[in-house]
Amino acid sequence: MIRLLLVTTCLLLSGYAAAQSEVAAKAAASAMPEITIYHLEGRRSERIVWLMEELNAPYKLVFERGDLAGSMANIRAVNPDVPMAPTVTIGNLVLVESGAIIEVLLNRYAPDKLQPALDTADYANHLMWMHFAEGSLAARLFSDYRAWRIDPPTERSRFVDSEATVQYAENYLAKHPWFGGAEFSSADIMMMFPLNVATGLNIVDEAQFPNVAAWKKKAGARPAYQRMLAKARPDGMIGNLPKLPKHAPAGPRT
Ligand SMILES: N[C@@H](CCC(=O)N[C@@H](CS)C(=O)NCC(=O)O)C(=O)O
């Protein structure tokens, strides 16, 4: 009887402790310090603005409207070593790398938002696209773009090139509504910029990627994306890089 009483009390106490630690975790998660986003219009810093709008969380947005050089001077003042957009301050912390900034913000301050739970099937794909956006897609897009501008290719590369990376996204979207899997996630936020670059600079032919085009339309219609555009790109794209005259030749790789 006494043992039963002890076990019951322990269970009650452990249930109480779990509930308390959940309360503590939620309290810690909500204590977001002041966030300042140093921004260049139409560039990768839009990702962080979009994220904050999705979270409905407060932030300060710093840029000089219509003046990329002026916006860059602001960035250089806080981050002289690698003046890049986004540069974000989270309290006293100064961070670059949009993917890392997003992971810090979500994991520390909004752990149950915009990413699938660790034990779900979607989590691994979500994380892969989070990193694929910069690690493979943007990297290949900009290297192909620069190579083309110097010396236009006459045939496709035999390596995984821009077109192959966009095709990979296209194939995934044939089976999943979002890069996060079943739900919209921060992987979708990461993928928008390079997929816009891919077609906007004519590095690949948009007509070949209908799933990507439909996804862009759907993601771009989200209210948080529209609020981001109104605040962070009030005059549309400025200072565009020149488009390629035509995309890389189609056909088999040699
Ligand atoms: N991998 C970084 C790339 C950051 C980056 O290169 N940003 C561009 C703007 S989209 C930039 O700051 N360019 C200026 C420069 O490289 O001098 C990220 O995802 O944050």
Assign residue 212 the CATH number of its domain: 1.20.1050.10
Q: Which residue has the tokens 């139409």?
A: 42
CA distance 87 to 84: 6
Of 71, 75, 82, the residue nearest 42 (C-alpha): 71
Q: 57 lies in a domain? A: no
Ligand 1 pocket member 170 (CB < 6 A)? no
116, 185 Cβ separation under 8 angstroms: yes
Residue 147 lies in a domain: yes
- How many angstroms separate the alpha carbon of residue 121 from the centre of ligand 1? 31
**Identity (one letter) of the amino acid at 111?**
P
For ligand 1, whether the C-beta of 53 sits within 6 Å is: no
In this structure, the residue with its CA closest to atom 14 of ligand 1 is 84
Indicate which atom in ligand 1 lies nearest the CA of residue 96: 20
Position 20 in a domain? no
The domain of 201 spans 121-222
Cβ proximity of 178 and 185 under 8 Å: yes
> For residue 183, is it within any domain?
yes
How far lies 254's CA from each of 113, 139, 150, 204, 247, in Å?
44, 21, 21, 18, 17
Decide: 84 in ligand 1 pocket, CB within 6 A. yes
**For ligand 1, is residue 40 a contact (CB within 6 Å)?**
yes
- Ligand 1 binding pocket includes 88 (Cβ within 6 Å): no
Burial class (CB in 10 A: 0-12, 13-18, 19+), 141: buried
* pTM score, whole prediction: 0.88
* Confidence (pLDDT) at 156: 79
Rounded CA separation 248/114 (Å): 35
Closest CA to 203 of 251, 137, 252, 158: 137
Rounded to whole angstroms, the Cα distance separating 62 from 192 reads 21
Domains in the chain: how many in total? 1
Task: Quick: pLDDT tens for 45-58.
Answer: 999 999 999 999 99
The finding on whether 43 has its CB within 6 A of some atom of ligand 1 is yes
Distance from Cα 98 to the centre of ligand 1, integer Å: 9
> Nearest Cα to 233, choosing from 43, 38, 83, 97?
43
Share of the chain above pLDDT 90, in %: 80
- Judge whether 65 lies within some domain: no
Domain-embedded: residue 95? no
- Residue 46 beta carbon below 6 angstroms from any ligand 1 atom: no
207 in a domain, yes or no?
yes
181 lies in a domain? yes
The answer to whether the beta carbons of residues 42 and 233 sit under 8 Å apart is yes
Residue 36 CB-density burial (10 A; 0-12 exposed, 13-18 middle, 19+ buried)? middle
Print pLDDT tens along the chain (254 aa): 444 444 444 334 444 444 444 544 454 566 899 999 999 999 999 999 999 999 999 999 999 999 999 999 999 999 999 999 999 999 999 999 999 999 999 999 999 999 999 999 999 999 999 999 999 999 999 999 999 999 888 877 888 999 999 999 999 999 999 999 999 999 999 999 999 999 999 999 999 999 999 999 999 999 999 999 999 999 999 999 999 987 766 666 55
Residue nearest to atom 16 of ligand 1 (CA): 84
